[in-house]
Amino acid sequence: MRKDDAIFAGELSGHYFFEENSKAEMTTLAVITLLNLMNETGKKMSELTENLKRYFHSGEINSDVEDKIGMMNKLKEIYSEGTIDELDGVRIDFADWWFNVRASNTEPKLRLNLEAKTKELMEQKRDELLAIIRG
């Protein structure tokens, strides 16, 4: 958000940031803004967001993994042709899809999030990754 001078940033996990205070999460401001917009337009949330849907996402999928760091390293090796970012777990980007795998701080689990440009590609890559992670 800071790098691209964005006015808003959000995550599938429900963390939202606004330019007014980009250093802190402001989920309540996102909710208030959405409720105000729904009130002003008389539209449902599904109607307001329909034109914004560009990607298909997996949602967060948790898997039991004893060696979390070892598995994240294995995924970096297997998907090394992608662009790797380790700011929050391991995120690897490709032209038509990306995924992020983070280790739980409290459980022996990895948390997978994935987005792709088509539903078919999302399902294929989701299943491929889960086979590796849970394999």
Q: Please list the pLDDT of the chain residue by residue as tens digits (135 residues).
A: 778 888 888 876 778 888 877 667 888 888 898 899 999 999 999 899 888 878 999 999 999 999 999 999 999 999 999 999 999 899 999 999 999 999 999 999 999 999 999 999 999 999 999 999 999
Tokens of 97: 């899809």
Burial 68-82 (b: 16+ CB within 10 A, else e): beebbeebeeebeeb
Query: What is the topology classification, in CATH, of domain 56-134?
Result: TATA-Binding Protein (3.30.310)
The DSSP secondary-structure symbol of 122 reads: H
Q: Kindly report the backbone phi and psi dihedral angles of residue 80, in degrees, each rounded to the nearest multiple of 5, phi listed first.
A: -65, -15
**CA–CA gap between residue 15 and residue 28 (Å, rounded):** 10
Q: What are the residue ranges spanned by the domains of the chain?
A: 8-52, 56-134
Model-level pTM greater than 0.75? Answer: no
**CA–CA gap between residue 68 and residue 46 (Å, rounded):** 36
